[in-house]
Amino acid sequence: MSLRERLAAEIAAQGPITVARYMTACLHDPDFGYYATRPALGEDGDFITAPLISQMFGELIGVWAASCWMALGQPPQITLVEMGPGDGTLMSDILRAAAKAPGFLQAAEIWLVETSAPLRIAQAGRLGDQVRWAADLADVPDGQPLLLVANELLDCLPARQFVRTRLGWAEQMVGLDAGGELAFGLAATPAAGLLPDAAVGQVYEQSAAQAALGQALGARLVRDGGAALLIDYGRAEPGFGDTLQALSHHEKVDPLDAPGEDDLTVHADFPAVMAAARAEGAGAALQTQAAFLARLGIGPRAEALLRARPDRSETLGRQLNRLIAADEMGELFKACVLHSPGWTPPAFEDLEP
């Protein structure tokens, strides 16, 4: 039985499911989920992330992590975590750059939070025995300062969708049409009174999973100290819009067409993540990816690479543009930091509210 057939049978027996439930099944079903069985990253896959575009991205995050460690007083032990580490490229680049800070790698206990068996294999092939794995952040030992990085993780966390109709709010659900095919539809929702006012036709997305991660990180950072860097595409202010999308070979496709075969994402809800962390007593700040990378020195780094390899000028220019241009990743992608009280991590010093 395929995932489509399994979901159709579940809906036929129990009724329509939420968009969040559909996303979870499509991405993480142990037998058919996209990340569980067939994640396809890179130019030849379904999507490409910043670490695969250029080494500069990971190197600068490595500089950022080492700078955080120094700002924290160079603790003798620190937990360095990447959540959603892809094929291991980002952590590899982070460690190469951070190694230039004497003592950092000796202090760092490195963990990857990963649920995908195929990706764990890729990570092990790239990083070897210098890292440990956990299926959940809660499984990573606490008790010492935390430095955490998550690039394009929030967008993979499931979200519910609500639609404002003439009769009020309704929840977008995945059900079956007259022919037995998966189809979107609307259902009454008990959450209607908790949703903001909006014009008819507006879509409001709510991700309990994103907020829960912000809460968990905030609580841990307040308890143990440190910082978490979350980079993703999403909104800087609360708002409306249907951002659910499926990607196949870098093209947008119908999210209901091939359950488990395409990557499904929604925009990161940075305001909700930051609010959840602040409610635990943590600090939080946000800026565009372009501004963040500029503060870390991506311009000088690109110039240094160009001097070393003038024959790659066209490629380097294209990579730099992809990372920071307003019409590429520079503005839509944001860099969010959550941190323990009493300090502000490098590159975010003047951004606290």
Contact 269, 211 (CB under 8 A): yes
Write down the architecture of domain 33-154+207-339 according to CATH. Answer: 3-Layer(aba) Sandwich (3.40)
Would you say residue 38 has pLDDT above 80? no
Average pLDDT, the chain: 93
CA distance 22 to 197: 26
User: Binning pLDDT at 50, 70 and 90, where does residue 10 land?
Assistant: very high
Of these ranges, 51-55, 115-119, 275-279, the one predicted with the greatest mean pLDDT is 275-279
Read off the pLDDT of residues 96-148 as tens digits, 9 standing for 90 and up.
999 999 999 999 999 999 988 889 999 999 999 889 999 999 999 999 999 99
Nearest 5°: the CA angle 261, 266, 272 is 145
φ/ψ region of 74 (left if φ > 0, alpha if ψ in -120 to 50, else beta) reads: left
CA distance 270 to 151: 13
Q: Would you state the pLDDT for residue 39?
A: 64
Please measure the distance between the N-terminal and C-terminal CA atoms of the chain and give it in whole angstroms: 52
Would you say residue 40 has pLDDT above 70? no
Would you say residue 86 has pLDDT above 80? yes
Least confident among 228-232, 234-238, 240-244, 308-312? 308-312
Q: Which of 212, 190, 261, 188 is nearest to 7 (CA)?
A: 261
Q: Would you state the pLDDT for residue 140?
A: 97
Would you say residue 298 has pLDDT above 90? yes
CA distance 30 to 36: 6
Distances (CA, A) of 150 to 229, 260, 334: 6, 23, 12
